[in-house]
Amino acid sequence: MNSLPTTQATLETKRLLLRPLCDADTASLSKIANDWDIAKFLSSMPHPFTLEVAKSFIESSNSAYLDNENIVFAITKRASKKLIGIIELDLNIKDNHATASYWIGKDYWGKGYTTEALEELVRFGFKELNLHRIASHHFHNNPASGKVMQKVGLKLEGKRREHFRKDGEYLDILDYGILAREWSKNIL
């Protein structure tokens, strides 16, 4: 992969639409993301997630896409178009790999939406962007995120002990990854 297409793709699954963020998402994004039960599991999500933070996040996401650094998708319900979360690929074009990250509003936990979104993001990364590898990670106190990764074929690759400090607590990070050839073999 040398660079991203000029216009960001919109991806569809059975129940979801993964689309670029836009200014009209500011209020919804702030409302759903302003939840400590989400922020406590994420290394880079500020809390509180104000309207100003949401606006800045949307602007920086669009700018990062144009700079070939990151692709951020709004996770929306296909039928209602309601924003329910965020999923993204942090790109390393030089080494042809990406790191996936995601979060979903608490009202949508346990319904399979995150797995569905990540499965489509991985497909997009390998089939459309021709990535060689996709990785992801989670804090040790968020095993549900690891289950999502495993469901879409990512394998546990290691543990970084007490690697991150959040609110004065040292947290382990569990690293997962999948290679394009492993993914291809699993979908055939």
Q: Is 49 inside a domain boundary? A: yes
For the cut 80, the answer to whether the pLDDT of residue 2 exceeds it is no
Give me the pLDDT at residue 186, please: 80
- Better-scored residue on pLDDT, 42 or 90: 90
Give me the pLDDT at residue 188, please: 54
Q: Is 121 inside a domain boundary? A: yes
Q: Is 80 inside a domain boundary? A: yes
The domain total for the chain is: 1
Give me the pLDDT at residue 147, please: 97
Q: Is 43 inside a domain boundary? A: yes
Q: How far apart are the first and last CA of the chain?
A: 23
Rounded to the nearest integer, the mean pLDDT of the chain is: 94
Residue range 125-146, pLDDT digits in tens = 999 999 999 999 999 999 999 9
In 3D, which of 102, 90, 87 has the Cα closest to residue 134?
90
What's the rounded mean pLDDT across residues 20-32? Answer: 96
What's the rounded mean pLDDT across residues 59-87? Answer: 96
Give me the pLDDT at residue 44, please: 80
Q: Is 2 inside a domain boundary? A: no
99: containing domain: 11-134
Q: Is 34 inside a domain boundary? A: yes
CA 124, CA 119: separation in Å to the nearest integer?
A: 9
* DSSP-based three-state secondary structure for 84: strand
- Better-scored residue on pLDDT, 94 or 188: 94
The CATH number that applies at residue 20 is 3.40.630.30
State the pLDDT confidence band at 22, using cuts at 50, 70 and 90: very high
CB-based burial label for 90 (10 Å; 0-12, 13-18, 19+): middle
Q: Is 175 inside a domain boundary? A: no
